[in-house]
Chains A and B, each alone.
Chain A
Amino acid sequence: MQDSIPELVKAFSDGDNLAFAILVKRYQRKIYALAYQMLGNHLDADEVVQETFVRIYHKRQELKHVSNFSSFLIRVAANYSIDLLRKRKIHGELTDDPSSLPGNIQIYMSRRVRTPSDLYEDKTVMEEIRRALDQLPPRQKITAVLHDIEGFSKTEIAAILECPEATVRSNLHIARAKLKKILKNRLSKE
């Protein structure tokens, strides 16, 4: 477990399945969080987590030429999230309907809030942000999520999305301006 990421990636690309299992453990929360922010529900986030690692497993030979595994992994997850987002826009979105979630998932998701009023407030804010983010085009949305929610730098985002840093800045600027407009009422309350 003491292995560094580059060592684990090298071992994995050489066929070490234990190294792959460790990489899954280390990154699955990050991928889940990103996917949840992008898609807004557990079931889609779950699909992104699984599909991302399955794709990474099949691309293990390519990893020998990848300098930054984290960016590569996030890119795979981001691209799949964008694909799924577009699909959902056409075929209808999923929601975190309690009846569709396994029992243990509901318990954990409800544990993150302390009181019923917190629950209500958190849910309301989350829902408002989700609706606001949903109004952004996929590229602007992923840029805003990666930068303002997940805390990636502009350089990292440029590497993840394989675009110039200027594009990231521009997308972020437009996304923030739109979010400010959409969330005007919420922001004035804060």
Chain B
Amino acid sequence: MTHRHITDVIDDYIDEELDISTAEEVRRHLEQCRTCRAEYELALRLRNILSGNSAPDPGEDYFNEVSALISAKTVETYQTETAVTNLEQQRRNNKRAFYRSLVSVAASLVIFFTALIFGSTQNKPVTVNVLSYQGTSRVAAATENDDNDNVILTPAEQRNLIKGIILLGSPGHFEQCGILSDLLP
């Protein structure tokens, strides 16, 4: 075994990682060779000095404190985050439920008024009382001239009139409906 060979395997020899026969060969060489023995002792001293260089002990109090800090940064933060997330989720759900109910109420109202308006015009003449208006209008004038009953518009006219009112009317309806024509400048 040469000096060069020994230098290569000396760390493995100290770490006891060589097979038995090679280790024995190294041991015998070290007994005879002063240069290699000096190399071996240097490596061993380095190992001892490093292994003896333990980190200082900051004490039990420090480690208790660190455990508490880690817990605060992890477990407690996670629990708080979870609680906040749940609360936000609940708020979102409540908001969604509120909007849903608002839409339902609006839809119900639309249906109700539509039914009311259309229902009131089915096979039933419109009377002056339905479209009563205090101001000057052609509707009122027409009523005064009618002796038998208050009918002033045919069902088709009523439908058109209502449609006109709902959609703010076409020019024809503005003329027919005194209320709207009076409101216009």
Q: Which residue of B lies closest to A126 (CB)?
A: B53
Report if A163 contacts B (CB, 8 A).
no
Number of interface residues of B (CB under 8 A): 30
Q: Are B42 and A180 in contact (CB under 8 A)?
A: yes
Report if A37 contacts B (CB, 8 A).
yes
Q: Are A33 and B54 in contact (CB under 8 A)?
A: yes
A78 to B118, CA, bound (A): 80
- A187 and B45 contact, Cβ closer than 8 Å, known pairs A24-B70, A54-B74, A104-B59: yes
A36 to B73, CA, bound (A): 22
Q: Are A20 and B73 in contact (CB under 8 A)?
A: no
Number of interface residues of A (CB under 8 A): 46
Q: Are A25 and B67 in contact (CB under 8 A)?
A: yes
Chain B residues, Cβ within 8 Å of A21: 67, 71, 75
Report if A172 contacts B (CB, 8 A).
yes
Report if A94 contacts B (CB, 8 A).
no
- A37 and B63 contact, Cβ closer than 8 Å, known pairs A17-B75, A144-B50, A176-B43: no
Question: B residues 25-81 with Cβ under 8 Å of A?
Answer: 42-43, 45-51, 53-59, 61-63, 66-67, 69-71, 73-75, 78
A76 to chain B, nearest CB (A): 13
Chain B residues, Cβ within 8 Å of A28: 63, 66-67
Report if A88 contacts B (CB, 8 A).
no
- A187 and B55 contact, Cβ closer than 8 Å, known pairs A21-B71, A57-B74: no
Question: Which of B47, B53, B75 is most buried by chain A, counting CB atoms within 10 A of its CB?
Answer: B53
Chain A residues, Cβ within 8 Å of B67: 21, 24-25, 28
Cross-interface CB contact of B49 among A104, A112, A190, cutoff 8 Å: A190
B120 to chain A, nearest CB (A): 64
Report if A186 contacts B (CB, 8 A).
yes
Q: Which residue of A lies closest to B62 (CB)?
A: A105
Report if A151 contacts B (CB, 8 A).
yes
- A180 and B54 contact, Cβ closer than 8 Å, known pairs A21-B67, A46-B66: no
A28 to B48, CA, bound (A): 25
Q: Are B53 and A105 in contact (CB under 8 A)?
A: no
- A109 and B61 contact, Cβ closer than 8 Å, known pairs A20-B75, A50-B73, A190-B45: no
Report if A74 contacts B (CB, 8 A).
no
Q: Are B46 and A53 in contact (CB under 8 A)?
A: no
Report if A183 contacts B (CB, 8 A).
yes
Question: Which of B42, B47, B56 is most buried by chain A, counting CB atoms within 10 A of its CB?
Answer: B56
Q: Are B53 and A37 in contact (CB under 8 A)?
A: yes
Binding site for A on B (CB under 8 A): 11, 17, 42-43, 45-51, 53-59, 61-63, 66-67, 69-71, 73-75, 78
Known contacts A28-B67, A105-B62; 10 additional CB pairs below 8 A are: A21-B75, A24-B67, A32-B58, A49-B66, A50-B73, A53-B74, A104-B61, A149-B50, A176-B43, A187-B49
